[in-house]
Structure 1
């Protein structure tokens, strides 16, 4: 639950550290585009910005720094009073007189963002007494979590002199809703065309995802800046020039879905020093939650895949060593996972729960149990039930007769297939059970459940 802005906030100002952060008025110019003025978070005034209960300083990755121009940020933990203000002297704007400029915020929501569903955020820009005010409901952006959105915070016309200051505000203080899980990427101003006036007032904007280019449309999770740059007409894609390195990084940053949030549960440090190293790890697989899960990316579809190992499943009587036995099995050359071996039960019940928000939207997935029948195995005359319950309540169920399955080798038993949609994300349940036949059972080994794209 973090709303992130560029640069570190928790610092002493003049030897005094109060609860609110007071901006230092600094700005950064894009060396390749002098008309672009980028304002770091340390230049903003943020209510409660010095209080670690509400805001937390963060470091940006190399890729984030590449695309934002900043290497530090701050994360919003939770607040019910959002007030971020800033000011920039017009003497810092290197654009012709009467150029219409736009203030833009680059924002991204995390998976667990909350409090954005009812009340719009107000954006205000003012210069020399002229003011634009707009309200934007950010909930639709939240639904597209993990994606950078570029949101207009207002426009102004550069007067052509250095006797003024542009003031900008991001504000929501009326609802008392607690909010969290949003990351602000950047605010900037860019010229549009020569106009003698600016459009105004009290507009309500319907949020929509904005993609500047491939490099900025999606990125990793911690960035925030404010940029002021001239608002120019969009050029055809063919005219856009992106270096090979940036193009590669931009393409990589589009995929996989929500991977930064997933990697927070990684058991080992992820090497992010290059895109190639990052993707080598994602393709190979990363263990999560103390080897209870494994996450990897399928190269063919760039889709997220998961294994829920036996320790991550709810197995009835599994902690009774008279009925189940646990042992370790090497999943890779140097990592072992726990496997559950059935000794003797008449009530077989295994459930796995998983949040589909981690899966790639629009992909047809299948969930399969990875099991082995080990002799002497008995009690499998009655078929077992396989069931999948999706977040929207849709249920799939069928039976499988394990008696006829191969022995002494790992096999996959399909539980169901499904497609993830943004409208119906949440916890799903994958189950295997049999307790109606009354037969005592032995010889079943459970390695886990694999969730992966279905190979059609």
Structure 2
């Protein structure tokens, strides 16, 4: 059969069949297909198709939203969840979808993290207009730094390699963050995971009385996010789908004990590495 005849056969398929075929593509490819013809547009925007791109437990997830979601189609819901993260469980957790893949992304708020030496003279809680959460944590003065959070692996998308990122800001008068810190991501049950080296500021090295930036640093440095915050990768974890338990994400400095001040923590985000 010629290519022309194959296309002619495809055009006469029922809309439901075309939607089913599109469900094996991606959200991006479905959007492109909707521009081909009116027939394709209807099939590429059907609720059946876009429900395939949503997580299988999306109804349970949006039922936990602190604010009701209003949408007229499953496609509209999909892009709302991609572009506007929603707060779950009374504002403890932020949820969104990866626009390219539809996979789940979560951020634990600072209140849900375990911050050792959490005392009024060391840490304080404050409200920031630019934060999605009600409160963020501000470090006043510590030398022993240990921040970690947990999340159940069953909440994540299966067969997905996730990166864990501390979302933070540094005040102008911050200090103590030019030195390397340790970070790790691991399954709590196994207790196995590599310690990675990270730095929240460009590391510096003393040369006599001078302090100069280290030109080469064997570790990870922070990046600016689209939302105006900074982030540093703590590590990664492949969620095969068969693991049942908690994944722990940690940033710590319990050896060199440099005094630190001026860190603001919004939370820790887990998102697909391919995003």
Tell me the TM-score normalised to structure 1 length: 0.43
1:406 deviates by 7.7
What are the Cα deviations for residues 189-209 of structure 1, in whole angstroms up to 9, with x where unaligned? Answer: xxxxxxxxxxxxxxxxxxxxx
Q: 2:112 aligns with which of 312, 317, 321?
A: 312
Matched, 1:413 2:232: yes
Q: Give the Cα separation in 1 of the matches to 2:223 and 2:171.
A: 6
Distance 1:425 1:383, change over 3 A: same
What CA deviation, in whole Å up to 9, does each residue of 1:211-256 have, x standing for no partner?
xx959x9xxxxxxxxxxxxxxxxxxxxxxxxx94797212222233
The CA distance in 2 between the partners of 1:249 and 1:325, in whole Å, is 46
1:10-41 deviation line (CA, Å, top 9, x unaligned): xxxxxxxxxxxxxxxxxxxxxxxxxxxxxxxx
1:366 maps onto 2:163 in alignment = yes
Where do residues 31-42 of structure 1 align in structure 2 (5 Å cutoff)?
none
Aligned residues: 216
1:296-445 to structure 2, matched below 5 A, reads 296-318=96-118, 320-331=119-130, 336-380=133-177, 382-390=179-187, 393=190, 394-404=192-202, 410-445=229-264
Q: Which has the larger radius of gyration?
A: 1
State how far apart, in whole Å, the 1-side matches of 2:125 and 2:66 are. Answer: 21
Task: Choose from 58, 67, 91 the match for 1:259.
Answer: 58
Query: How far 1:431 moved relative to its partner?
Result: 0.5
Aligned to 2:210: none
Q: Could you list the per-position Cα deviations for residues 105-155 of structure 1 after superposition, in whole angstroms to 9, with x for gaps in the alignment?
A: xxxxxxxxxxxxxxxxxxxxxxxxxxxxxxxxxxxxxxxxxxxxxxxxxxx
Shift of 1:391: 5.8
What is aligned with 2:267? Answer: 448
How far the C-alpha of 1:304 sits from its partner, in A, is 0.9
The equivalent residue for 2:80 is 281
Q: Which 4+ stretches in 1 moved above 6 angstroms?
A: 405-409
Cα RMSD, aligned residues only: 3.1
Q: Structure 1, residues 55-96: CA drift from partner, whole Å, max 9, x if none? A: xxxxxxxxxxxxxxxxxxxxxxxxxxxxxxxxxxxxxxxxxx
Greater share of strand residues, 1 or 2?
A: 1
Residue 265 to residue 439, structure 1, CA distance change in 2 (3 Å): same
Change (3 A) 1:360 1:272: same
Q: Which residue in 2 is equivalent to 1:35?
A: none
Q: Is the 1:271–1:277 Cα contact (8 Å) retained in structure 2? A: no
For CA contacts below 8 A with separation 6 or more, give which structure has more relative contact order. 2
TM-score, normalisation: structure 2: 0.68
